[in-house]
A = this chain, B = another copy of it.
């Protein structure tokens, strides 16, 4: 892989995350020589050009497929699409990627993405990834709300990935602001993420679902606000993520329900010493978790 400042980088999908990635790349001391981007939304492309996030914009047409002229130039490609769109895009564009290019993605589920990455042309290298950052609003216009600094990044490298490409990507990710990179398998990612991300979104959604009073926030002291911030979710994306990781997620929901039932039973029984002991253990466990 050549040095990043000699690369042409391509962003596929200029939504919330695509916009944040483009901005982060542009701000690097050794920014890519050129940053190209494609999207189905001309206004997102125009806004990115206006903000000087990208050098050249390519309109992706659902019928005509991927912008071949863009992909043929890119040494590094960030796929910033929902999982199903990502898979359709790569399958349609397989022949257009530049030989030797490095591809990565930002999808919140890695099983199907890793399977796709395994069956690419041998001369291109796809390292699946998941930046653990986001915002409660969608689209390019909100991408300034996404803060990469100090955040986690998960990579699920394949055996076929070239070690120098993995080293290149990790170095780039750190310079984009992320502070902790964890490498695991696609299955390991999907199992952990079912808990830290998807279950939390299901809980937040359920919490809003069970209260119809729009004035309830007058009684908020931060807890409700914290627990439901993520209920402002991108419904099509989270539907995909929940359904694709259905088995792991349902298992996590069931485990959560078991804990909830146990605490509910302690409250119902009025057993103060047992309840206090359990809450004390929970406090200790949360305190012992890595920062």
Contacts and interface: CB of A to CB of B under 8 A. Distances in A.
A222 B131 CA distance: 11
A120 to B, nearest CB: 26
Contacts of A208: 282, 285-286
Interface of A is mostly: helix
Interface in A259-290: 259-260, 262-264, 267-268, 270, 272, 275-280, 282-283, 285-290
Interface string A214-255: 111111111110111111110110111011001001101101
Contacts of A258: 210
Interface string A92-116: 0000000000000000000000000
A255 to B, nearest CB: 4
Interface residues of A, number: 87
Q: How many copies does the complex hold?
A: 2
A224 B206 contact: no
A154 B231 CA distance: 25
B231 A286 contact: yes
A246 to B, nearest CB: 6
A279 B221 contact: no
A276 B277 CA distance: 40
